[in-house]
Amino acid sequence: MSENEYQEKINAIDALLDKWKNKAPSPDGYINHPTSVFIRDGIINEKPEEWYSQECRPLFLLKEAYGGEKDWDLTSYVRSVADGEKKNRTWRNIAMWTYGILHTHADSDTLPNLPEYHRETDASSQNATTTTFDEHLLRKIAVVNIKKSNGDPSSSDDDLKLYAKYDAQELWDEIDLIDPTVIISANTHEIQDTIAAQNTPPIKIDRNYQDWTSHLTINKHDVILIEYWHPANYFPSMMNYYTLMAVYQHALQDCNHK
């Protein structure tokens, strides 16, 4: 893919979000993007060629962002966390999970060790053999929220299903343009199925309920979908991390056997 083609994809995402913001309200008026605070999202890295060149491209499919009195861009906020300008426990967890995903391989006998949090600027004071991570890894992810406007601190699955159904085509178009290789979803499988069913033609999700993983096709390549806990959960870091890595490795191995 050429540099122009990378930029064309980013331009297409921007145009999609512009159109989404101005989408007509739902017939009952429950969803009204034009009159609500609309929060954009997408690829975190400002350099599209770096994102699309990654062999592993993790997309975090979350519920909703909230706050502010006017429209804003979640990718800018996450970049500020990646650069150490802001602190956020949820995004630190995502950075830790990203470290593990990028270092998990189907043919490895072990999972990558749970890393210690460590800012790159302090690396000189740390033992060189210590496995560490920091928020810079957030530049290697993309993020898509189901609910783009009128967000709340506490999410309701029934509310999210309404947004997923009404905005299904836009959600799928955004994910398709981002072109992930793995999706970590903090939503229920009913919400994923709602998005898939509303598209023309419907998207086929090959689901394995035993290990939280599914497979679908995006841009003619296999994508792993993991339905997982929200990164804001309060489970122990070790349980969060190793469970996700084990699930992901098993999905990678399943891909190799297809």
> For residue 131, what pLDDT is reported?
81
Confidence of residue 153 (pLDDT cuts 50, 70, 90): confident
In the block, tokens 């145009």 appear at 15
b/e sequence 113-148, b meaning 16+ C-beta within 10 Å: ebbeeeeeeeeeeeeeeeeebbbebbbbbbbbbbbb
- The fraction of the chain above a pLDDT of 90, given in percent, is 76
258 has pLDDT over 50 = yes
210 has pLDDT over 90 = no
Total domain count for the chain? Answer: 1
pLDDT mean over 35-46:
97
pLDDT mean over 37-64:
97
Sequence-separated (6 or more) residues with CB below 8 Å from residue 244: 97, 100, 101, 184, 226, 228
Confidence of residue 96 (pLDDT cuts 50, 70, 90): very high
> For residue 140, what pLDDT is reported?
98
* pTM exceeding 0.75: yes
> For residue 135, what pLDDT is reported?
93
- The fraction of the chain above a pLDDT of 70, given in percent, is 93
pLDDT tens profile 158-182: 999 999 999 999 999 999 999 999 9
Instruction: Give the Cα separation of 157 and 227 in Å (integer).
Output: 14
Q: Which domain holds residue 76?
A: 3-256
Lowest mean pLDDT among 52-56, 73-77, 246-250, 251-255: 251-255
> For residue 125, what pLDDT is reported?
47
123 has pLDDT over 50 = no
